[in-house]
């Protein structure tokens, strides 16, 4: 209905449809979701979710609590250590149990590319320790190509997964409009050996509207609205599901561009987004107690960034600020209906006000060498907006006041030397981050991973990180080899510590953990990438990786990737491509039983991807099809919450029809 309305009223098209370029040898930290074409290496489904795309990056692992809304980790660090933004906009999930990473509120149809930056290189939009993921929206195009549209349909046998998408785009000389919608629905998926994974279904749709108007040669105005709504989302790894996850993401952007002026570009954005997230256990037949856990998160913000190029300097300044309100509550229904409802604020209306500034300078020392440095300074205030919430937290912190200020800083410097057949770069950095709302102010948040209730700690110190990274690539004839490594030394590493004096709230929980700062922790990763092109069309590539994490208490950190490998044989022409891929992890020997992890055994899965392009006059038909987990292995990885098994064998086909 909505789609047909859109189709009839706004018959325009968009061609930034998903396909992915990923080259393991180049270690691009950018995942392109570019125009629909066959990629050279790992062929993907055109209708892959954002989650699937992100997972193809070396440094990103998705934590899975079900078949939907996976949580990205970057360099073995989860969302609170990352700065995840949508086109520079701050947006915060509304679920206290991380069931709604913000990557779940956009779809591939909304995006142009995803930029991934490790460590302090990722502070352009905000403070972080682990790095940044920026989901970038497409820019308006004033190409005057008129109307363009495309239709996508997809089907996967595992879970009876259906997808349909429609994009219409109109481009004039001064006016641009794009509308797209996508719908996804899956039943329970099956793990290896046809074992149904209960409560793994989901359903969502996403619509977006983008419009641009060129005010003059150098000035343009853009507006973007994304509405995303998921219903009936099952979380097999958790005791609860989600009946509604809804986001409205809006922005207005003014941009100035002038190649011949001192200021090359100046982009300013005002934005607002609101999220409603409702957890639901009504589908579960057997729970100790029925409960409702709704959460809300509203964010207002702006940024203004200026690019200047002068002499050999390339400068970038970004002034930004945001205001977020996070509120979540829990109502439990006693089994004895004579007793009153049990209510508490799990996020007591925390208001976060941040303002900060970022500056970066890249200086070309010579033709081959570039040195760059960046710095971010910011001030953050957290206020507990809810009197009941403040009083609740005063149970644990009797002298707690409703407001806390933090000063945050981060800086990094790196050096890049590039020759035609080799390049090398290294960098160092220091950064700080404030505790997240849950870490600072959470009230009895149950974590099913270690089976503990968590209490926030408003007095936590900022987490501080020293980092060093090195990257080198070398190519000889058709053989390429690259190594990439990073090391983080994190002080006041925020993690839960058991408080044996506290009594668990959740029925069946093992106890209560209070967030504390571990004196220090170390996280290390190294990846070795190789590729060899036998011919223009036929190539092989492979990656092996090793990750390590340990705290000052001599315990391994949780959710650290074990030894991993990917190997691929690929054949590609302009009309056809095929790839056979082997992907796996070694036995997770350094698991963290201290933090509730168990040992995940080794696994390896085999995937086959195929693709065809058919030109029909001016129009184009793209097919992507293949088999995932060909051998139907029953397995789970270290990042699967409570060891829920992954999908078994899956046949899929995606078809896209592009009408010009």
Partner 1 sequence: MKLKYILPILFLALATVACSSDENDDYTPPTSEVDGLQLIQELSNDTHTIELYNQSGLFYTGYNNISLRIKNRSNNEYVEDASITWMPMMQMPTMQHSCPKTNPEKVTGKNTIYQGAIVYQMTNTDGSGWSLMFDYTIDGVDYVVSDTITVMQNDNQNVSSFMGTDSSRYVVAIIEPENPIIGNNDLVVGVYKMENMMSFPVVENYILTLDPRMPGMGNHTSPNNTNLTFNAADNKYHANLSLTMTGYWVLNLKLMNVDDEVIKGEDVTDGNEQSSLYLELEF
Question: Which residues, 41 to 60, sit near partner 1 by CB under 8 A?
Answer: none
Residue 568: C-alpha distances to residues 56, 370, 508, 578, 609 (Å): 13, 33, 45, 10, 11
Q: For partner 1, which residue of 1, 9, 216, 340 counts as binding (CB under 8 A)?
A: 340
- 459 binding partner 1? (CB under 8 A): no
Closest to 226 measured CA to CA, from 268, 274, 276, 296: 274
Q: For partner 1, which residue of 217, 259, 286, 336 counts as binding (CB under 8 A)?
A: 336
Q: Mark the segment that binds partner 1 (CB under 8 A) among 174-182, 247-255, 498-506, 625-633.
A: 498-506
Residue (8 or 501) nearer to partner 1, CB: 501
Residue tagged 């206290």 (tokens): 96
Q: Hey, what's the torsion of the CAs at 566, 567, 572, 575, to 10 degrees?
A: -40
- 391 binding partner 1? (CB under 8 A): yes
Q: For partner 1, which residue of 288, 421, 552, 573 counts as binding (CB under 8 A)?
A: 288
Closest to 118 measured CA to CA, from 489, 482, 427, 551: 427
- 200 binding partner 1? (CB under 8 A): no
Residue (392 or 469) nearer to partner 1, CB: 392
- 503 binding partner 1? (CB under 8 A): yes
Closest to 59 measured CA to CA, from 486, 467, 423: 486
Residue (215 or 287) nearer to partner 1, CB: 287
Closest to 432 measured CA to CA, from 533, 356, 514, 500: 356
Q: For residues 503 and 523, is the Cβ–Cβ distance under 8 A?
A: no
Q: Mark the segment that binds partner 1 (CB under 8 A) among 43-51, 137-145, 371-379, 390-398.
A: 390-398
Residue (311 or 335) nearer to partner 1, CB: 335
User: Residue 109 phi/psi, 5° resolution?
Assistant: -65, -20
- Residue 395 CB, nearest approach to partner 1 (Å): 4
- Residue 388 CB, nearest approach to partner 1 (Å): 6
Residue 294: C-alpha distances to residues 80, 216, 235, 316 (Å): 20, 46, 16, 40
- 500 binding partner 1? (CB under 8 A): no
DSSP characters for 110-158? Answer: G-SEEEEEEGGGG-SSS--SSEEEEEEPPPP-----EEEEEEEEEEETT
Residue tagged 């503990």 (tokens): 452
| Tokens linked to 10 | 């706004």
Q: Mark the segment that binds partner 1 (CB under 8 A) among 224-232, 341-349, 549-557, 618-626.
A: 341-349
Between CA 548 and CA 239 the distance in angstroms is 30
- Residue 96 CB, nearest approach to partner 1 (Å): 15
Q: For partner 1, which residue of 30, 209, 225, 344 counts as binding (CB under 8 A)?
A: 344
Q: For partner 1, which residue of 164, 468, 505, 582 counts as binding (CB under 8 A)?
A: 505
Helix, strand or coil, per DSSP, at residue 646:
coil
| Tokens linked to 286 | 């057997």
Site mask, partner 1, residues 540-579, x = CB under 8 A? ----------------------------------------
- 501 binding partner 1? (CB under 8 A): yes
- Residue 239 CB, nearest approach to partner 1 (Å): 14
- Residue 327 CB, nearest approach to partner 1 (Å): 15
User: Residue 14 phi/psi, 5° resolution?
Assistant: -140, 135
Q: For partner 1, which residue of 5, 365, 369, 507 counts as binding (CB under 8 A)?
A: 507
Q: For partner 1, which residue of 289, 310, 365, 602 counts as binding (CB under 8 A)?
A: 289
Closest to 303 measured CA to CA, from 253, 353, 360, 264: 253
- 379 binding partner 1? (CB under 8 A): no
- Residue 399 CB, nearest approach to partner 1 (Å): 11
Q: Mark the segment that binds partner 1 (CB under 8 A) among 44-52, 294-302, 384-392, 518-526.
A: 384-392
Q: For partner 1, which residue of 345, 524, 591, 625 counts as binding (CB under 8 A)?
A: 345
Question: Which residues, 232 to 251, sit near partner 1 by CB under 8 A?
Answer: none
DSSP characters for 5-68? Answer: HHHHH----------EE--TTTT-SEEEE-SS---SSS---TT--HHHHHHTSTTEEEEBSSSS
Q: How many other CB atoms are found less than 10 A from the CB of residue 458?
A: 20
Q: For partner 1, which residue of 483, 504, 544, 630 counts as binding (CB under 8 A)?
A: 504
- Residue 342 CB, nearest approach to partner 1 (Å): 4
- 401 binding partner 1? (CB under 8 A): no
DSSP characters for 158-206? Answer: TTTEEEEEEEEEEE-SSEEEEEEEEEEEE---EEGGGEE-TT--EEEEE
Q: For residues 276 and 293, is the Cβ–Cβ distance under 8 A?
A: no
Between CA 82 and CA 62 the distance in angstroms is 13
Residue (491 or 505) nearer to partner 1, CB: 505
- 396 binding partner 1? (CB under 8 A): yes
Question: Which residues, 303 to 332, sit near partner 1 by CB under 8 A?
Answer: 330, 332
Between CA 181 and CA 110 the distance in angstroms is 9
Q: For partner 1, which residue of 85, 171, 392, 462 counts as binding (CB under 8 A)?
A: 392
Site mask, partner 1, residues 131-170, x = CB under 8 A? ----------------------------------------
Q: How far apart are the first and last CA of the chain?
A: 24
Q: For partner 1, which residue of 287, 310, 369, 395 counts as binding (CB under 8 A)?
A: 395
- Residue 396 CB, nearest approach to partner 1 (Å): 7
Between CA 265 and CA 220 the distance in angstroms is 11
Farthest CA pair distance, the chain: 79
Q: Mark the segment that binds partner 1 (CB under 8 A) among 9-17, 395-403, 474-482, 574-582.
A: 395-403
- Residue 628 CB, nearest approach to partner 1 (Å): 42
Give the count of residues interacting with partner 1 (CB under 8 A): 31
Q: For partner 1, which residue of 8, 173, 260, 335 counts as binding (CB under 8 A)?
A: 335
Between CA 580 and CA 589 the distance in angstroms is 28
Q: For partner 1, which residue of 92, 266, 358, 444 counts as binding (CB under 8 A)?
A: 444
Residue (259 or 336) nearer to partner 1, CB: 336
- Catalogue the E-assigned strands of 365-448: 369-384, 403-419, 422-433, 445-447
Q: Which residues bind partner 1 (CB under 8 A)?
A: 288-289, 330, 332, 334-336, 339-345, 388, 390-392, 394-396, 398, 443-444, 501-505, 507-508
């Amino acid at each position: 209905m909505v789609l047909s309305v859109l189709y009839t009223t706004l018959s325009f098209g968009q061609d930034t449809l998903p396909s992915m370029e990923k080259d393991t040898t180049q270690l691009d930290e950018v995942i392109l979701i570019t125009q629909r074409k066959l990629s050279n290496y790992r062929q993907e489904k055109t209708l892959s979710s954002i989650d699937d795309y992100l997972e193809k990056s070396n440094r990103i692992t998705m934590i899975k609590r079900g078949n939907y809304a996976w949580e990205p980790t970057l360099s073995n660090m989860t969302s609170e250590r990352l700065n995840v933004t949508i086109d520079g906009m701050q947006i915060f999930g509304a679920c206290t149990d991380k069931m709604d990473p913000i990557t779940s509120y956009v779809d591939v149809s909304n995006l142009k590319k995803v930029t991934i930056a490790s460590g302090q290189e990722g502070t352009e939009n905000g403070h972080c320790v682990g790095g940044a993921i920026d989901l970038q929206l497409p820019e308006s195009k004033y190409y005057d190509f008129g109307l363009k549209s495309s239709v996508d349909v997809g089907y996967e046998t595992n879970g009876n997964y259906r997808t349909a998408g429609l994009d219409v785009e109109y481009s004039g000389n001064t006016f641009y409009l794009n509308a797209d919608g996508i719908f996804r629905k899956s039943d329970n998926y099956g793990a290896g050996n046809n074992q149904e994974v209960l409560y793994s279904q989901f359903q969502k749709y996403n619509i977006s509207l983008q419009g641009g108007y060129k005010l003059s040669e150098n000035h343009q105005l853009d507006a973007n609205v994304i509405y995303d709504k998921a219903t009936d989302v099952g979380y097999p790894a958790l005791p609860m599901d989600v009946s509604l996850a809804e986001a409205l993401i809006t922005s207005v952007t003014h941009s100035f561009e002038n190649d011949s002026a001192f200021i090359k570009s100046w982009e300013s954005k005002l934005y607002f987004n609101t999220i409603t997230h409702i957890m639901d256990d009504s589908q579960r037949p057997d729970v100790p107690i029925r409960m409702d856990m709704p959460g809300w998160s509203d964010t207002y913000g702006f940024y203004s960034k200026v690019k200047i190029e002068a002499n050999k300097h390339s400068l970038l300044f970004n002034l930004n600020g945001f205001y977020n309100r996070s509120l979540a509550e829990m109502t439990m229904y006693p089994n004895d209906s004579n007793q009153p409802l049990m209510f508490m604020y799990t996020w007591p209306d925390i208001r976060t006000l941040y303002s900060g500034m970022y500056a970066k300078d890249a200086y070309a020392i010579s033709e081959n060498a570039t040195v760059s440095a960046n710095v971010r300074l910011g001030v953050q205030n957290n206020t507990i907006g809810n009197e009941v919430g403040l009083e609740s937290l005063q149970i644990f912190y009797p002298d707690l006041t409703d407001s806390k200020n933090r000063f945050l800083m981060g800086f990094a410097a790196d050096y890049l030397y590039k020759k035609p057949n080799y390049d090398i770069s290294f960098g160092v950095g220091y950064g700080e981050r404030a505790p997240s709302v849950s870490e600072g102010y959470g009230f009895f948040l149950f974590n099913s991973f270690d089976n503990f209730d968590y209490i926030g700690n408003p007095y936590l110190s900022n987490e501080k990180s020293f980092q060093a990274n090195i990257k080198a690539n070398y190519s000889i004839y058709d053989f390429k080899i690259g190594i990439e490594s990073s090391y983080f030394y994190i002080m006041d590493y925020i993690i839960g510590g058991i408080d044996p004096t506290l009594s668990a709230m959740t029925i069946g929980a093992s106890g209560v953990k209070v967030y504390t700062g571990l004196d220090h922790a170390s996280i290390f990763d190294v990846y070795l990438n190789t590729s060899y092109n036998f011919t223009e069309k036929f190539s092989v590539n492979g990656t092996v990786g090793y990750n390590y994490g340990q705290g000052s208490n001599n315990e391994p950190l949780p959710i650290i990737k074990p030894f991993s490998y990917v190997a691929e044989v690929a054949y590609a022409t302009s009309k056809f491509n095929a790839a056979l891929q082997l992907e796996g992890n070694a036995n997770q020997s350094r698991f963290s039983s201290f933090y509730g992890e168990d040992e995940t055994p080794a696994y390896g899965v085999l995937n086959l991807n195929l693709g065809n392009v058919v030109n029909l006059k001016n129009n184009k038909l793209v097919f992507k099809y293949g088999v995932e987990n060909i051998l139907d292995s029953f397995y789970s990885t270290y990042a699967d919450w409570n060891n829920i098994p992954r999908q078994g064998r899956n046949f899929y086909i995606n078809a896209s029809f592009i009408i010009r």
